[in-house]
């Protein structure tokens, strides 16, 4: 490799590192902010004050008030907890479940593989949100059911990645050696396969956080997720939708909150993907 | 030809899977639908409930019920709506054209926006234009479509007053905002794919070769690169129709667009299970068919595959 290319890559690598630090910090701040959100609200987010309903943004209420006179800024802040943590929970569930299925398929193969993969094909045959809508519809609204609905359509992707990664690992010499020397299946899966395949899976989960947050908010917007009065960004937007002609800020503020959070997680996801890209890593060795 | 037959045979288990899953899901929900039907009628004796169960065929074994239901599905008989009492399949079919219109318009607009912009971004890669376009696609990718919808509403209908806030019927005027919303969301995602595809083609050896021989850049771009990338670009677009089919539901109900998406959302709110079932099954079948046709066209159009030349 010629020197200019190496230098170019080194520069790229440093910028990726800088980006990682910046976006990582932003994401951590967002998470910490949402943990302590109840201490950050200027007003009680559930306190109704009908005499001051539908107020435009002012010094007292920076984002105005909703139909019941609840302070929007406080509701947006407290809503971060529901919106962000339910998304993280959802991503954790699909990552764990999909990986488990994928590793089982890849390691055991044969009929288990055939059956589980056909089942995952069935879920993949449904277009995007259509199936999630139906699951949420059948189970009825509620945040928990919305998470189940989205998990039901999202796990097959992880199962496929985990399966192909496991199959690749299975062919390696060290694993054959481990098997020959009598390591138990459990030990092989947990000590050898999982640590080696988690990289690409975790990158996928990071990239999925933004999308999942939007889809969860979408279900809540349709009334199939978090139920009022729980402050959640998607349901807050549909709640205040009719106010868009009078006080547009009240409707748009939760949307901007979703937008900013999704953007931070997307930027972080992209950066982690670039960081993990072996093309950028060659230089290190 | 053998490939076509293979694909059609592969379709059978997928269709069985889709229908079975939709059926099973509604069956789990359906058992309390009977109780729900009578919920507001006060105390109802077990006999009446059982009679209703038998009338709806809910007392037969599960697999038998599935095949009876599947037979109905093939004949276009999917039962009646719990809410309106009308035939579910007829209602679905009557709302379908509106959704197809919206989908076609959005796809056309997406093509108009994202293909030229994606090509420009690829040609000017790592320059200002590229960063500028990528920034917009990134912003668009981070906005939920209902947020885009409300922003457009605020801007076009309320601030500027060009369009009505809520659509009345399926006129072109009322189609503008839902189409724009779906196209903006889709274009942001799709522009990235177009850019990546064209960029990959631009980095191939033959492009360097053509440049070395002094072929003009515009000729390389139009005669070779774009021609070569088009197939992948169109395929990716066709495959993204799936996410569009699901995505229309939210947008249709925001803009009161009278299509199947709004129908489904309304049915979910009313717990109208036969209606939800019809929506899920048919959307999935349409999706599978679109993907199949895309795949077959891809094989038909790609000269390497058509002529059986190995890559």
Q: Lowest mean pLDDT: which of A176-180, B23-27, B144-148?
A: B23-27
pLDDT in tens, A93-125: 999 999 999 999 888 888 888 888 888 888 887
Per-residue pLDDT tens digits for A205-245: 988 899 899 989 988 888 888 777 778 888 888 887 777 77
Indicate if the pLDDT at residue B261 is higher than 90.
no
- pLDDT at position B310 is 47
Closest CA relative to residue B13, chosen from A117, A110, A97? A117
Check CB contact of B8 with chain A, cutoff 8 Å: no
Higher local confidence (pLDDT), B6 or A156: A156
Flag whether pLDDT at A8 surpasses 70: no
- Answer whether A135 sits within 8 Å of B25, measured CB to CB: yes
| A149 vs A141: CA distance, rounded Å | 10
pLDDT above 60 (res A283): no
Q: Whole-angstrom Cα distance, residue A200 to residue A206?
A: 10
Please name every residue paired with B87 in a beta bridge, in sequence order, or none if there are none. Answer: B80
B residues 11-30 near A, CB within 8 Å? 13-14, 17-18, 20-22, 25-26, 28-29
Q: How confident is the model at residue A284 (pLDDT cuts 50, 70, 90)?
A: very low
Between CA B63 and CA B57 the distance in angstroms is 12
B32 to chain A: closest CA residue: A138
DSSP element (H, E) containing B3: helix B2-39
The verdict on a CB contact (< 8 Å) between B146 and A131 is no
Average pLDDT taken over every residue of chain B: 80
Asked if B284 and A125 come within 8 Å (Cβ–Cβ), the reply is yes
Nearest-neighbour CA in chain A from B12: distance (Å): 12
**Lowest mean per-residue pLDDT among A76-90, A143-157, A167-181, B71-85:** B71-85
Three-state SS for B76? Answer: coil
- CA torsion A263-B257-B286-B21 (nearest 10°) is 80
Q: Considering chain A, what is the average pLDDT of its residues? A: 82
Beta-carbon separation of B288 and A125 below 8 A? yes
Q: Contact, A116 vs A159, CB < 8 A?
A: yes
Q: Which chain A residue lies closest to B291 (C-alpha atoms)? A: A125
Q: For residues B191 and B114, give the distance between their C-alpha atoms in angstroms, rounded to a whole number.
A: 5
Question: Chain A 57-76, CB below 8 Å of chain B: which residues?
Answer: none
Query: In the numeric block, which tokens belong to residue B144?
Result: 């939920």
Q: What is the mean pLDDT of residues A145-167?
A: 89
Least Cα distance to A104 among A89, A91, A117 occurs for A117
User: What's the CA gap between B187 and B109, in Å, rounded?
Assistant: 8
Whether A241 and B150 lie within 8 Å, measured CB to CB: yes
pTM: 0.84
Q: Is the pLDDT of residue A86 over 50?
A: yes
Q: Whole-angstrom distance between the N-terminal and C-terminal Cα of chain B?
A: 20
Nearest to B250 among A135, A222, A252 (CB): A222
Q: Is A130–B245 a contact, with Cβ atoms under 8 angstroms apart?
A: yes
Confidence of residue B38 (pLDDT cuts 50, 70, 90): low
Whether residue A259 lies within 8 A of chain B, CB to CB, comes out as yes
Answer yes or no: is pLDDT of B69 > 80.
no
Interface contact flag, A138 B154, Cβ < 8 Å: no
The region of weakest confidence among A55-69, A163-177, B121-135, B289-303 is A55-69
Any B CB within 8 A of A223 CB: yes
Q: How far apart are CA B92 and CA B144, in angstroms?
A: 27
Name, of A97-111, B153-167, B232-246, the range with top average pLDDT: A97-111
What's the confidence (pLDDT) of residue A129?
A: 81
Closest-CA distance, A143 to chain B, in angstroms, reads: 15
SS (H, E, C) chain A: CCHHHHHHHHHHHHHHHHHHHHHHHHHHHHHHHHHCHHHHCCCCCCCCCHHHCCCCCCCCCCCCECCCCCEHHHHHHHHHHHHHHHHHHHHHHHHHHHHHHHHHHHHHCHHHHHHHHHHHHHHHCCCHHHHHHHHHHHHCCCHHHHHHHHHHHHHHHHHHHHHHHHHHHHCCHHHHHHHHCCCCHHHHHHHHHHHHHHHHHHHHHHHHHHHHHHHHHHHHHCCCCCCCCCCCHHHHHHHCHHHHHCCHHHHHHHHHHHHHHHHHHHHHHHHHHHHHCHHHHHHHC
**CB-CB: which of A128, A138, A252 is closest to B26?**
A138
Three-class DSSP category at B178: helix
Say whether the peptide bond before residue A229 is cis (omega within 30 degrees of 0): yes
Over residues B79-102, the mean pLDDT reads: 82
């Amino acid at each position: 490799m010629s020197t200019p290319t190496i230098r170019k890559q080194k520069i790229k690598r440093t910028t990726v590192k800088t980006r990682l630090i910046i976006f990582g910090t932003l994401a951590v701040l967002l998470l910490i902010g949402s943990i302590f959100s109840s201490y950050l609200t200027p007003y009680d987010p559930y306190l109704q004050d009908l005499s001051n309903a539908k107020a435009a943004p002012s010094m007292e209420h920076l984002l105005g008030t909703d139909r019941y006179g609840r302070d929007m800024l406080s509701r947006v802040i407290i809503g971060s907890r529901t919106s962000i943590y339910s998304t993280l929970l959802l991503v954790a569930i699909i990552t764990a479940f999909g990986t488990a299925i994928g590793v089982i398929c890849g390691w055991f193969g044969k009929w288990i593989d055939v059956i589980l993969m056909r089942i995952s094909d069935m879920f993949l045959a449904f277009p995007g949100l259509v199936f999630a809508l139906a699951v949420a519809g059948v189970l009825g609204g509620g945040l928990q059911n919305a998470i189940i609905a989205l998990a039901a359509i999202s796990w097959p992707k992880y199962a496929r990645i985990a399966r192909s990664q496991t199959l690749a690992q299975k062919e390696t010499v060290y694993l054959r050696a481990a098997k020959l020397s009598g390591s138990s299946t459990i030990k092989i899966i947990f000590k050898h396969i999982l640590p080696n395949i988690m990289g690409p899976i975790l990158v996928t989960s990071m990239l999925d956080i933004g999308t999942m947050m939007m889809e969860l908010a979408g279900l809540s917007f349709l009334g199939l997720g978090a139920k009022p009065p729980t402050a959640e960004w998607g349901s807050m937007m549909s709640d205040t939708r009719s106010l868009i002609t009078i006080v547009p800020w009240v409707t748009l503020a939760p949307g901007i909150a979703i937008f900013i959070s999704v953007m931070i997680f997307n930027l972080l996801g992209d950066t982690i993907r670039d960081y993990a890209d072996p093309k950028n890593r060659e230089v290190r060795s | 030809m053998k490939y076509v037959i293979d694909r059609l045979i592969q379709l059978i288990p997928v269709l069985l899977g889709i229908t079975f899953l939709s059926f099973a899901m509604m069956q789990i929900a359906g058992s309390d639908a009977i109780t729900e039907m009578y919920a507001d009628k006060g105390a109802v004796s077990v006999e009446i409930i059982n009679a209703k169960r038998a009338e709806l065929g809910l007392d037969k074994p599960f697999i038998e019920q599935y095949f009876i239901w599947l037979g109905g599905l093939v004949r276009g008989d999917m039962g009646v709506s719990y809410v309106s009492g009308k035939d579910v399949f007829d209602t679905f079919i009557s709302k379908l054209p509106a959704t197809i219109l919206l989908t076609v318009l959005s796809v056309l607009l997406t093509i108009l926006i994202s293909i030229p912009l994606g090509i420009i971004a690829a040609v000017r890669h790592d320059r200002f234009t590229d960063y500028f376009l990528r920034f917009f696609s990134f912003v668009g990718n981070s906005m939920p479509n209902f947020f885009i919808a409300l922003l457009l509403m605020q801007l076009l209908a309320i601030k500027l007053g060009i369009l009505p806030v809520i659509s009345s019927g399926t006129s072109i005027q009322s189609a503008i905002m839902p189409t724009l919303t779906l196209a903006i969301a889709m274009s942001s995602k799709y522009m990235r794919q177009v850019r990546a595809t064209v960029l990959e083609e631009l980095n191939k050896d033959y492009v360097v070769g053509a440049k070395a021989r002094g072929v003009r850049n515009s000729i390389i771009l139009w005669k070779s690169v774009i021609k070569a990338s088009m197939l992948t670009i169109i395929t990716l677009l066709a495959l993204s129709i799936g996410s569009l089919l699901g995505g229309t539901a939210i947008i249709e109900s925001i803009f009161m667009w009278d299509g199947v998406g709004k129908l489904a959302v309304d049915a979910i709110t009313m717990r109208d299970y036969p209606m939800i079932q019809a929506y899920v099954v048919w959307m999935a079948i349409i999706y599978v068919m679109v993907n199949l046709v895309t795949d077959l066209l891809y094989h038909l159009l790609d000269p390497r595959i058509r002529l059986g030349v190995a890559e």
